[in-house]
Structure 1
Amino acid sequence: MNKLYIVLPVIVIIAIGVMGGIIYLHQQSLSVKPVTTTEFSTTTSTSTTTNAITTTVTQTVTSITSYNQLIYVTSSASSPTPVYLNNSTIPSFYLEVNMWNAKNYNGNYTMVFNPLTRTLSVSFNLTQVKPLEWTNGYPEIYVGRKPWDTAYAGNIFPMRIGNMTPFMVSFYINLTKLDPSINFDIASDAWIVRPQIAFSPGTAPGNGDIEIMVWLFSQNLQPAGEQVGKVVVPIYINHTLVNATFQVWEMKSVPWGGWEYIAFRPDGWKVTNGYVSYEPNLFIKALSNFTSYNITNYYLTDWEFGTEWGTMTSNGTAYFSWTVSNFSETLL
């Protein structure tokens, strides 16, 4: 009987201790910052001897995954913001507001990237934009390096055209607001340049280089130059393979830089919301039938995605919002 009287208080004390430990762990997990996910697991073992009861509480951290804070892009100039993921020392990609042709404006814009959901959110609400132009800006996300940049993002560029590895570009686009009076497109942009441009960071392109665009939608806007043909290129739209017809537009030498410009514009179809995936290699192969240059020894330095916007038909206003999620470029 005396042993029983001794054991019962010990059990009560230990039980209270175990509950306190569990409550403490629960409170600790609630205090974790919102940008960090931490999982705890506990195990309890009990052994009994003739004189005492031993209880062990073990805290095991099973996983700790940290996520970066939201990334706000604030500079309206053509200065890319690098995004580092998975503790990499090399940027995974760049973000850019890129209001390269808007000198003055009133209003506001936001460009925010969420590393957890891999979503870029863009919203513009501007008035009195000057000068009035067909294209005032191009908010975007991209991998690689524009000729003007000083470093590459990702690890797949530059690619020599003559032996380039096939790769797939994919993303989800969601156009949520659009003023019907503005000039606007949803498009990819990229640079096919001579070796001396590809391997000389910060060197502007010029006569002898090529800018290529792949459009998915346009409003009150057409590509520079004139239409020179049509091509059919297979692309995935909402996970369905479609043989899509594109108009081919070309300007031999753009007045704002001297390079050749070739754009692929949808012919009778559009995508403003949904999943899109395609192989840029197929567009570059089609481009080789229209360019005046032998591009075998040229290099593809990047692949960009964004929306060109302008104010020529909107009396200086620019109002639109969109998101793009899971933008990726994958070697095949």
Structure 2
Amino acid sequence: MTYIASESRYQDMSYRRCGNSGLKLSALSLGLWHNFGDVDIRANYEQLLFTAFDLGITHFDLANNYGPPEGSAEKNFGDILHKHLRKYRDELIISSKAGYYMWPGPYGEWGSKKNLMASLHQSLKRMRLDYVDIFYHHRPDPDTPLYETMSTLDLMVRQGKALYVGLSNYPAQRAREAFDILRQLGTPCLIHQPKYSMFERTPEEGLLDTLMDNGVGCIPFSPLAQGMLTDKYIKGIPEDSRAARAHFLKPEHLTDERLATIKALNSMAMERGDTLAQMAINWLLKDKRVTSVLIGASKTAQIKDAVHGLKSNPFTQGELDRIETILSKFA
């Protein structure tokens, strides 16, 4: 059956301006890092996309290496876009990235002009698109001159293959240098994508201020710390969880101290009438420097829960102080 989007899709979602640009992003964005590869069930990830869009999520975040196997998330997304979402293309923000390993030889990763242009062309072909809305450099390259990488991003915009450009995983000083180059070239950086959550506070050590000073938006990834900031692991490690698969999140990460922190935060979330996941997402969105939070999902209920959580009461200063006490007590 042909998908028809909900007519009320923009009713409850909030949209936040991205830095100093004219672009607004939905407060929640859907990441396709997991659950959209060839190893996954198509009927499920179709429903994830449809549910997200029906609830006002307009930003879908991909990268050339998402899958597994690498490239399959873009291919699968492109197929669904072509068959079901094509008429909504102008309502969507579609992003991709390059920088991590994709093919053998000296041009298959990092940040050279050769790698980035080849990667973008491959991504556009897989998704059956003429352009992406945002193209990111996925990680800093220690060897390629920064000017080469940034001038390639600028070229993509000038060629009409990307509307905006962004960075991911850049530390504050390196990001500042990149912003300066892009500004001089005439293609200001739109957005930065750092790993940021209650359990990963590095962006607070200068990056968030750098983004604000340069008018760049922020979209944190891994806001739930690979699922640790949920109630999933309070009673043990479920067989179908990421910790059980021991890929990125390993059982040894769930120490007694970490579990004590999770339980204390979960109790506080319940007092607020929230789930722990909702509280963790809203804790990020409380900061006006954050444009959108990038969530992942394996079930439609997780997307619905996150969107519903946007209606939660704002944090009081006492609640914020309590969160800091919990985090510091079990650090």
Would you call these one fold, judging by a TM-score over 0.5?
no
TM-score interval for Structure 1 and Structure 2 normalised by the shorter chain:
under 0.3
Q: Is the radius of gyration larger for structure 1 or structure 2?
A: 1
| Greater relative CO (CA pairs within 8 A, separation 6+) | 1
Higher normalized helix content (fraction of residues)? 2
Q: Give the TM-score, by structure 2 length.
A: 0.20
